[in-house]
Amino acid sequence: MTTEVTTVGDEAEPAADEGARADLSRLSLNTATTKHWTLREAVDGAVRAGLSSIGPWRDRVQEVGVPEAARIIADAGLRVSSLCRGGFLTTDDDAAARAALDDNRRAIVEAATLGTHELVMVVGGLPAASGPGGPALPYPARSGAGVRVQGADDPARDLVAARQRVADRIGELAPFAAGHGVRLVLEPLHPIFAADRAVISTIGQALDLAEPFPSDVVGVVVDTYHVWWDPDLQRQIARAGAAGRIAGYQVCDWILPLAADPLLSRGHVGDGYVDFASITRWVRDAGYTGDVEVEIFHEDVWSAPGDETLATMAERYVRHVLPHL
């Protein structure tokens, strides 16, 4: 699908496609970007903007019920690029672990019902920093200077053990996912979130965890916000591509200063410090031909009218990503 995109901005650097009918056929709206829209509003907005796919979050899907959500999206002629999200598998409490596995099985069924192959997994943080089921969005402060003094060999701070629990539980979920034609897509999160949201911080680490499983059962997603800084990024993206494990490419920017809540500190592509030209070429050269999701958590983006957000998304995609894809 093509649509008219008017690029604006720096006159000295016209975008490659300025004035042309831009190809948005691989651009997908992650519904977190238009936080205040219902699923139907997001679907309608994506269609108006000329997109072909959408990446819904489970809360917006559950709001209308999964079968109805599937119908809304299919009726609009959109693909589902991925479902966000499963995960939060790091708890060291047995009951909480069983609940987390059950919830992930439900997420797998939801993904299959929506007709997407890709279930994004945010694996969870240290037991010391995250409750069962994971922190809410935005997450609550669970510690502060001077609140607590840890003992030596504290299991709640044992990163190595938390990562092993992720590996074990991915192993438990993999057959169920495979049986439903769904891939568990491990998402490395920026190390700023290593304590409270994800003990997976790099593509390389995610690939090591994925290795025991078939490539259509466990994959990885490349999210520029989370991995742009990684000195090994080019090599690990190539490795992911060679293994057939790149399940998604998500784009948004690292901006400074950070927002007070760093979870909500993502910028539109081009507003920050990420080198989208290089990373996009690495993803392309790794053989990725799937959708490019825009997933932005930021109060300013959320308070903008949704159609405006989508127009900015499309314009930035055409300027910074599409020429290298």
Which positions from 74 through 93 interact with a copy of itself, judged by CB under 8 A?
A: none
The SS3 of residue 223 is strand
Residue 242 engages a copy of itself in binding (rule: CB under 8 A): no
Residue 271 engages a copy of itself in binding (rule: CB under 8 A): yes
Residue 314 engages a copy of itself in binding (rule: CB under 8 A): no
Distance CA 70, CA 116 (A): 10
Nearer to a copy of itself, 2 or 143 (CB): 143
Residues between 147 and 176 with contacts to a copy of itself, criterion CB under 8 A: 147-154, 157-160, 163
CB-neighbour burial class of residue 322 (10 A; exposed 0-12, middle 13-18, buried 19+): buried
**The only residue of 54, 69, 119, 128 in contact with a copy of itself, by rule CB under 8 A:** 128
Residue 231 engages a copy of itself in binding (rule: CB under 8 A): yes
Q: Which residues contact 125 (CB under 8 A, 6 or more apart)?
A: 90, 134, 135, 162, 193, 194, 195, 196, 197, 198, 199
Residue 285 engages a copy of itself in binding (rule: CB under 8 A): no
**The only residue of 78, 166, 194, 237 in contact with a copy of itself, by rule CB under 8 A:** 194
CB of residue 53 vs a copy of itself: minimum separation in angstroms? Answer: 24
Residue 245 engages a copy of itself in binding (rule: CB under 8 A): no
Stretch that binds a copy of itself, among 36-44, 71-79, 124-132, 241-249 (CB under 8 A): 124-132
Cα–Cα distances in angstroms (integers) from residue 47 to residues 35, 42, 164, 259, 281, in the given order: 17, 9, 42, 31, 27
CB-neighbour burial class of residue 129 (10 A; exposed 0-12, middle 13-18, buried 19+): buried
CB of residue 248 vs a copy of itself: minimum separation in angstroms? Answer: 21
Contact 22, 5 (CB under 8 A): yes
Nearer to a copy of itself, 1 or 16 (CB): 16
Cα–Cα distances in angstroms (integers) from residue 134 to residues 106, 123, 319, in the given order: 16, 9, 36
**The only residue of 92, 205, 215, 311 in contact with a copy of itself, by rule CB under 8 A:** 205
